[in-house]
Amino acid sequence: MPVAVGDRIGRYALLRVTVILGLLAGFALSPKLWLSSRLYPLTPVWAFLRPLRSPGDYVVIFTLVVLLIALIVAPRREILAAVFALLALLALQDQSRWQPWFYQYALMLLAIALAGSSRQEAALNTCCLIVAATYIWSGLAKLNPNFSTAIFPAFVEPFVARGLTPAAWLVQGLAVATPVLECATGIGLLIRRFRPAAFYCAITMHVFILMVLGPLGRRFNAVIWPWNLAMIAFLFILFFKRPEEPAFRDIVWGRYWGRGFAFQKVVLILLGIMPALSFFHLWDDYLSSALYTGNTNSGVVYLSDAAFEQLPDVIQENVYEEGPNLSSLDINDWSFGELKVPAYPEPRIYRNVARQICRYVPNGSGIELVLQSKFALVNGTRQVYHCSDF
């Protein structure tokens, strides 16, 4: 067997295993996200979709986990078909499950499944495009004032706690440079000449994130820890010393302009083009790699004391007192508290959550939802809803 062919098979198998392990780790760290038996409401794609009742929801996630484990050792088409049927069911029943890492893993696994053993090089290059596009759009989404003034300074707090006090000008400079470097890293991975530098830059970035948010840092949002480890693995599998170094065209479109792997073009549209619409509020932020950008839609439910008393204890734990007869429920905090993931930051999700809160209060009085759209090329707006609006 030629070296290049053997290397490709090895990378293809490692890629499949890494994607599956990443999915399994995500499921393990956010178990309630994948169940229907919880207080945080599900937001189905279509209203007529009814959530699975217990123990049906447990059966689905348990079956999916078993199939994914089987897929590691036996990548059969029948198992792949069953996995995607269950993944689709879970995604259709609750849009809060469309976390960036889940979306990425699903697309990569689909590329592996559709390419099959006969088009392994096409699958590898399609996954190269997924990884590179993630960096490009994540960097562009961070080009906003809130990231440089709030999000990035919060990233360096663990270092300050350990006695390291970087100069203010250095923190400010890095805060401004980080989005540009991340975007440039994604572009560099697409181009042979710049790929080595982009590779090491990406590795450094993920190590920094793990130091900041991981168990030795802020210990925050544990579900993205394995995602960062998986991204490091993807960089080695897809970009490090491949015998047949893919060119820009191979990754973005395919080796031949007129024919090739059709799903690669689908990925180009979904991850290469559609995220641009998020700057006009026409595409979801989390489908555009906009995690930890400091610029996403937000939703807060304000409650009177009487309304607060009607809420279950689990929800009350996420409510903060704002003043006399006024408390606030940050939907993102509730999602983190119960589901262990951030809230899917779209107005339709926030409205559905507020609708659920209204159900706990018989007359719906004393409840107000305030939605603040993100700043974009089309300016964000502030909207206020009451229970009577749902």
pLDDT tens digit sequence for 114-164: 988 778 999 999 999 999 999 999 999 999 888 888 888 887 777 666 666
Q: What is the mean pLDDT of residues 65-84?
A: 93
Q: What is the mean pLDDT of residues 298-317?
A: 94
What are the backbone angles phi and psi of residue 321, rounded to the nearest 5°? Answer: -75, 130
3-state per-residue secondary structure call for the chain? CCHHHHHHHHHHHHHHHHHHHHHHHHHHHCHHHHCCCCCCCCCCCCCCCCCCCCCHHHHHHHHHHHHHHHHHHCCCHHHHHHHHHHHHHHHHHCHHHCCHHHHHHHHHHHHHHHHCHHHHHHHHHHHHHHHHHHHHHHHHHCCCHHHHHHHHHHHCHHHHHCCCCCCHHHHHHHHHHHHHHHHHHHHHHHCHHHHHHHHHHHHHHHHHHHHHHCCCCCCCCHHHHHHHHHHHHHHHHHHCCCCCCCCHHHHHCCCCCCCCCHHHHHHHHHHHHHHHHHHHCCCCCHHHCCCCCCCCCEEEEEECHHHHHCCCHHHHCCEEEEECCEEEEEHHHHHHHHHCCCCCCCHHHHHHHHHHHHHCCCCCCCEEEEEECCCCCCCCCEEEEEHHHC
What pLDDT is recorded for position 358?
Answer: 96
Q: How confident is the model at residue 342 (pLDDT cuts 50, 70, 90)?
A: very high
Is the distance from CB of 79 to CB of 70 less than 8 angstroms?
yes
Q: How confident is the model at residue 215 (pLDDT cuts 50, 70, 90)?
A: confident
Predicted TM-score (pTM) of this structure: 0.93
Quote the CA–CA distance of 143 and 137 in Å, as a whole number.
Answer: 10
Q: How confident is the model at residue 387 (pLDDT cuts 50, 70, 90)?
A: very high
Instruction: List, in order, residues 6 or more apart from 298 with CB less than 8 Å away.
Output: 331, 332, 345, 350, 371, 372, 374
Mean pLDDT over each residue of the chain, to the nearest integer: 91
Q: How many CA atoms lie within 13 A of 53 on its CB side?
A: 0
State yes or no: pLDDT of 256 exceeds 60.
Answer: no
Please write the tens of the pLDDT for every residue from 76-98: 989 999 999 999 999 999 999 99
